[in-house]
Amino acid sequence: MLAHATVENEDVNVDALVGTYRNTETPFHPRSRRELERLLDGYELEEPGLVYAPERPWENPALSGFHAAVARL
């Protein structure tokens, strides 16, 4: 299972999030859908594939600004 921040949601202030996480032990590196598709290349994605996290039936809609996917090796 992959859940990853995206830079494509206009409702999320990405620059503010990056700035907040800049000096932490868990830096924030949002990626585009295209970047995530390349990362998942070679994996068999379960339906509905790579979608915004709120579109996954088991996810909390409060996670807007994230892409999510489930894949098999």
Q: How far apart are CA 35 and CA 57, in angstroms?
A: 23
Q: How far apart are CA 65 and CA 4, in angstroms?
A: 8
6, burial (CB in 10 Å: exposed 0-12, middle 13-18, buried 19+) = buried
Instruction: Using a pLDDT cut of 70, give the percent of the chain over it.
Output: 84
DSSP class of residue 46? P
**pTM higher than the cut 0.75:** no
Number of domains in the chain: 1
Per-chain mean pLDDT for the chain:
81
pLDDT value of position 29: 83
Range of the domain at 29: 2-72
Q: How far apart are CA 24 and CA 56, in angstroms?
A: 29
Q: How far apart are CA 46 and CA 23, in angstroms?
A: 35
